[in-house]
Amino acid sequence: MRITLIAASLLLLPGLAGAQEDVFSLDGLVVTVSPVPRDRRAVASHVTVLDGEELRARGLTTVAEALRDVSGVDVVRAGSFGALTSLFMRGGESDHTLVLVDGVQVNRDGGGLDFSRLTLDNVERIEVARGPASALYGSDAMAGVIQVVTRTGRGSPRVRARIETASFGGPADEWVDGARWSADVSGGSDGFGYSAALSHESNEGILEFNNRHTRTAFTGRAGFAPDSDTRLDLVVATTSREFHRPTDGSGNVVDRNAFDFGDETMAHLRVSRALTDRLEIQGLLGVSGVDGGTDDQFDDPSDDESFVSLEHFRRTGAEVRANLEAGPAVLTLGGELEQERLRSFSESSSSFGTSFGRSENERLNKAVFVNATGERGLLALNAGGRLENNERFGTGLTFQAGAAAHLPRRPGTRLRASLGTAIKEPSFFENFATGFVLGNPDLEPERSLSWEVGLEHEISPGFRLEATYFDQEFEDLIQYTFTPPNPGDPNYYNVAGAASRGVEIGAEARIGAVEAGAAYTWLDTEVTHSGFDSGPSAELVDGAALLRRPSHTVSVRAAAAVTDRVRVHSSARYIGVRADRSFDPVTFSATREELPAYVLWTIGGEWDVSAADGRRPDVALSVRVENLLGDSYQEAWGFDAPGRQLYVGLSVGVGGDPS
């Protein structure tokens, strides 16, 4: 029923607006690293902006795939399409990156997030801000912030539908192993803009059996400006997915009916009102959450193990901020109230009997923050601080400061530097687990201190180089121990530490009809305190590198318009050697391993069969080959990644303003 109503809204929205340009464009500005939109050249931290239309033109469908070519970011998918997908930014843990969708946090409690849930449908752009940002956003922004910005819509109503088939030699040995379809609509008038997108994806996976993946996603956004001083934005998004998982913890294909499932939702309402020429008030009310779990029934009469779990997580937040313009500076004062709530249930059966688990926990967080930004001449400055009061771990203070300066007589050259601290709260399980594992209600937040310096240079309007050096320390990392210090003690403690440093280099060029880009990352991570871990096969080894973080990554991409109707694109990615651990499910022991380097090459193109002229739609055909060389590789030890993949697509669009 919900999907039916959503689909109906796709058809009704175009009648609500005319053909004038909307007033909501933020072209050329970034919105993630500052309380107010700022020119990217005035930002002190390393920020990358990815254009949604360009990403979709390359055939990408998920946020995770888009982030693989970003320097300082490592994406790890544990196997086939739809499998658990984690992100490591600048050597931080997979729960050290805050993820926002139009300003609303979508991370789980404790910062975790499965990136396989985020699609590129209806995405206007993605902003990747590296470095600590808790002074602005609070918990989880330890290593950086990723913000997905949804299209508001502008111009005449436009509707587009697309279908794409996938062939990758799946276990069924069919010509077509999967398919994806999508439909979207957008448009806007002088004071109103809207967009909506609905998509569905299904494939059989790459493993021998029980590896099916399905995902249905909807995103809708509407912006309304009743007058020049007022703006309202409403965003609603929902995703429903299933991933059939036949593997055990070491990647062996052993289970014929286990699957994970989840329904994610996100909604927010933002209101902005200019009270005077210098004072603006903003309010944000947002909610995000997930209802999901695992279903692993008995495979057959000889199977004596089963496991079923259900979880309901909700994050609800309200924020009010005031932006006061004072000459060349903007001073922001704000407050936030956030509640997290988790209910869970599990049932486990084995030859030893059946056990049940049930929990319900919540926590409230209050915060106030202040931030100042200003520009004078060639210099731009920012500074801010945030005071958190969490009912579980008390009060904490974080800060950030930065400066960016254009060199005299060299307007194309910019220097920047920034410094900041950040925190990450424990997960509910780490705080409150009961049963075989005991949580620790006295845990403190994990903490980080980071600084960076960077240089950017525009040789010409179409050619830009940038380089950044960063250094960060992670303290009070939460670690699990199988053998607590005393009987009855918790299994989690703030005892571990790590450090990372590195260099991020990027280049962009536009020469005639050709656009190209490249990114390189050198990363050096080190365990500074292994905590309870010991021995060469431990997860944390004093002086050793952190797991799954390659020292060297390189990506290059290029796109060109061969004719007015034909475009081609290609990209290549090199992922260097990195450490991981293999797990033996029989002995429950782990061994430190080395994952070999690999190279992935993608080529593709699109042909505009016909262009819209008011009487007929525009029609385009596309083809894309990923992992062209058919390399065998693993992003996580024991979990094979897909081999060569062929995608063929057809898109049809009607309406819109003439280009």
Specify the pLDDT at position 13: 36
* Residue 586 or residue 577, greater confidence: 577
Cβ–Cβ < 8 Å for 454, 467: yes
Find the range with the poorest average confidence among 40-44, 126-130, 498-502.
Answer: 40-44
Q: What b/e string do you get for 464-498 counting C-beta neighbours within 10 Å, with b at 16 or more? A: bbbbbbbebbbbbbbbbeeebeeeeebbbbbbbbb
The helix/strand/coil state of 3 is helix
Note the pLDDT of residue 169.
85
Q: What are phi and psi of 248, to 5 degrees?
A: -90, -170
- 25-52 pLDDT per residue, tens: 566 789 999 999 998 889 999 999 999 9
Tell me, what's the pLDDT at 10?
A: 35
Note whether 120 and 63 are within 8 A (CB).
yes
Token pair for 613: 């002229």
Domain ranges of the chain: 2-249+263-655
Bridge partners (DSSP) of residue 385 are 370, 399
3 pLDDT exceeds 50?
A: no
pLDDT of residue 16: 34
Mean pLDDT across the stretch 82-108? 96
pTM of the model: 0.93
Rg (alpha carbons) of the chain, rounded to whole number? 25
pLDDT tens per residue across span 170-222: 887 788 999 999 999 999 988 899 999 999 999 999 999 999 999 999 999 99
- What does the pLDDT read at residue 54? 94
Residues 6 or more apart in contact with residue 658 via CB below 8 angstroms: none
Mean pLDDT over the full length of the chain: 92
The share of the chain scoring above pLDDT 90, in percent, equals 80
- Give me 657's structure tokens: 């303003």
CA distances, 205 to each of 79, 93, 185, 444, 510 (Å) = 9, 28, 30, 41, 38
The two three-digit tokens of residue 147, written as one number = 């913000």
DSSP string for residues in 339-394: EEEEEEEEEEEETTEEEEEEEEEEEEEEEEEEEEEEEETTEEEEEEEEEEEETTTE
Q: How far apart are CA 294 and CA 311, in angstroms?
A: 9
Quote the pLDDT of residue 25. 58
* 632: pLDDT strictly greater than 80: yes
Dihedral class, residue 631 (left if φ above 0, else alpha if ψ from -120 to 50, else beta): beta
Residue 409 or 658, more confident: 409
Q: HEC string of 111-122?
A: HCCCHHHCECCC
Question: Which residues lie closer than 8 Å to 608 by C-beta, 6 or more apart?
Answer: 564, 565, 566, 618, 619, 620
Q: Which residues make Cβ contacts (< 8 Å) with residue 351, sequence separation at least 6?
A: 304, 305
Pick the CATH number of 2-249+263-655 from 3.30.70.580, 3.40.50.10890, 2.40.170.20, 2.40.50.180: 2.40.170.20
532 pLDDT higher than 70: yes
CB 393 within 8 A of CB 445: yes
Mean pLDDT (whole number) for 452-474: 94
pLDDT of residue 26: 64
Adjacent-strand bridge partners of 18: none
Res 658: pLDDT:
58
> What's the pLDDT at 561?
95
